[in-house]
Amino acid sequence: MIYAQILAGGKGTRMGNVKMPKQFLSLADKPILIHTVEKFVLENRFDAILVVCPSDWVSHTQTLIDRYIADERVKVVVGGSERNETLMKGIEYIQDNFGLNDDDIVVTHDAVRPFITERIISDNIEAALKNKAVDTVIPAIDTIVQGENEEVEDIPVRDKMYQGQTPQSFNIKALMSAYNQLTEDQKAILSDSAKICLLAGEKVKMVRGESFNFKITTPYDLKMANALVEIGE
């Protein structure tokens, strides 16, 4: 079976003084989260689409889904205290409610990347059916500088540098196996789900993203997103 998991657990601390997590802020005429979910319900191959959010926001999220999304595949699920725990809470929900088969895959996506396209979702599904882990990337345009304590340590060759986006997609059993190999410290600090599989020695297939598939993190990002919506209209 093929699942989508939209990670809506962010707190939005870089968005400034706002009353709610950034995924619930308005983009044009509706919440950012809803723009994202709408893209996923267009893909008929998904058997279920999970929206995983903090326990304090489950009721609010369900109200939004009921208001804007008429698709019984969409389920609101309680997440964890950090990204990877939230990811695994979604996997637990799948296991408890649908069972797991060896070839089941999950396409995971940030709730605050509302400009994802049908092509990116489709490419992730196709790649995840053939590979155990998939990451969406775009080539790095600027030179990447690695540093610490205000000193440059390395400047990697730009042609081999990419910027990571989401979706990140996985064979579910392979992801669970890789996650269970992590130490508790690694589980607490890993901010990228594809790295879970890399650390376990799995190859991660790259899928082409788009520059406009950006993450709305700051007030500037939200202004850019509103401008893009206006151009699209």
Residues with Cβ within 8 Å of residue 185, at least 6 apart in sequence: none
Handedness of CA 216, 222, 224, 230 (dihedral sign): positive
Nearest to 21 by CA among 216, 220, 228, 191: 216
The DSSP call for residue 22 is G
Return the DSSP state at 144.
P
72 appears as a binding residue in the annotation? no
**Rounded distance, CA 121 to CA 136, Å?**
10
Does 82 carry a binding-site annotation?
Answer: yes
| Annotated binding residue 111 | no
Residue 3: helix, strand or coil by DSSP? strand
| 126 annotated as belonging to a binding site for a ligand | no
Locus of tokens 């709610």: 20
Rounded Cα gap, residues 87 and 229, in angstroms = 29
90 is in an annotated binding site: no
Name the strand (E) or helix (H) holding 65: helix 58-68
Tell me: is residue 9 an annotated ligand-binding position: yes
Peptide bond into 54 cis (omega under 30): no
Binding residue per annotation — 124?
no
Q: Is residue 153 part of an annotated ligand binding site?
A: no
3-state secondary structure of 193: helix
User: Which candidate, 62, 63, 83, places its Cα nearest to that of 7?
Assistant: 83
Let me know: does 136 contact 209? Beta carbons within 8 Å: yes
Tell me: is residue 7 an annotated ligand-binding position. yes
Residues at the annotated binding site for CTP?
7-10, 80-86
What are the binding residues? 7-10, 80-86
